[in-house]
Amino acid sequence: MTVHFPFQNTYSALPDNFFARVAPTPVASPRLVKLNRPLAIHLGLDPDRLSSPEGTEILAGKRIPDGADPIAMAYAGHQFGHFVPQLGDGRAILLGEVIDADGVRRDIQLKGSGPTPFSRRGDGRAALGPVLREYIVSEAMAALGIPTTRSLAAVVTGESVMRETLLPGAVLTRVASSHIRVGTFQYFAARSDAEGVRRLADHVIARHYPQAAGADRPYHALLEGVVARQAELVARWLLVGFIHGVMNTDNTSISGETIDYGPCAFMDQYDPATVFSSIDEQGRYAYANQPRIALWNLTRFAECLLPLLSDDQEKAIAEAQAALGEFAGKFDTAYQAGLRSKLGLFGARDGDDALAQDLLDAMAKNQADFTLTFRRLSDAALDPALDVSVRQLFADPAAYDEWAVRWRQRTGDEPQDPAARRDAMQSVNPAFIPRNHRVEAAIEAAVNRDDFAPFEGLLTVLSKPYEDQPAFASYADPPEPDQRVFQTFCGT
């Protein structure tokens, strides 16, 4: 059964210093763990053929499909604020690009497929746990409606990888609008390769920001476009309680997608200072710091573009500052609009921002669960008797009671009926998120017992996050004290 990928290879048509040509390293005995059949169909691929032994070998890197031009992409990056001039795909290989059903060009990349010239003494492999984590969380983000890379398949390799101990090896097939990062631009800028920056910028404009090509200042328009997408993206992270964990510039996608799910997590109790990543000892990438870090990363991107903005450095800096200056307003607009929607407010009025912030402050002070508070508030919008289910989430229920009086006064000023308000709120306040303890339980079962039932069950629930799903009600529950996850790990 021949597996056909209608590959195109525009990135590997760029100059040779943009990447290294390298084939995946064959593995012993690959076994398909999960194929994302709806995504395969959307990409124009045959899921039955992908599930075949030949398809599994392709997804594991054991067989190279016709039309592929395997490459490891070069990039640099600031990691926790420290610049590393050469990083690159150390354990990922881009097979090629396909055009999906929406006409969008999508990369197909194997992650964990063996060493590359950028591996920096690493083995180029991935352990099963991080592969399952990325599969679960990236697909949950897609179901939540947040721009993200996707997971097409997870395969176990039949080989072990050594981390702290021997672990089962695996390969993730990742799909992205592209894998171009802020760090990709930094790679060329650090080498004073102005032509490389220009070629990359032209490629990005053609691929992601075609409207910029017709602008009076195309590279300024590119910068504005990337700023706008990142502002919107990070606002949407905050609105669902998501913490990326490693917002390095090499993990900041130029396309505006969430990329590289390492020590990521969703908050249980609301606390803006929450950090999960075991390597983020200073809290640089804490939940509430993410907008500030996004702007910092965008500033590094703007620095790379300066030679393209103007030959006059002062003028180039002024242009960059003008574009970067739009970030705060775009983020605030997206974030505050999102909060109003979460509160069931159909219009914007003075005092709405303070109303939302007062609830968040009360949640933080009273250890209220972020996701459950907003979901139960959706039900309370229909029936005030259901306030009891919200107030019991607060250490001091009176804190909610005081706020709820003002909220009901505000919603009472609008003409929408309670059922319409409840429905609108449920469409933006998920019932289900990838609770950390559930993710860890799925990983533990798969790694230690070769049991993928918890993984499959979690994926089923998370595919419909805004539906109540009474049969899976327990998946909405926060962790018991002995189930709480305080740290997540990168898994590289």
Q: Which residues are marked as active site?
A: 250
Distance CA 113, CA 153 (A): 13
Q: Comparing C-alpha atoms, which of 215, 439, 204 is closest to residue 323?
A: 215
Q: Coil, helix or strand for 92? A: strand
Distance CA 490, CA 279 (A): 8
Distance CA 2, CA 450 (A): 29
Angstrom distances, CA of residue 238 to CA of 88, 235, 253, 339, 341: 29, 5, 17, 10, 14
| ∠ Cα 32 35 40 (to 5°) | 140
Backbone angles phi, psi at 235, to 5 degrees: -60, -40
| Rg (alpha carbons) of the chain, rounded to whole number | 23
The token duo for 360 is 């968040």
The token duo for 26 is 């064959």
Buried-state track 186-221, b at ≥16 Cβ within 10 A, e below 16: bbbbbeeeeebbebbbbbbbebbbeebeeeeebbbb
Residues near 71 by beta carbon (within 8 Å), at least 6 away in sequence: 11, 12, 19, 20, 21, 22, 93, 94
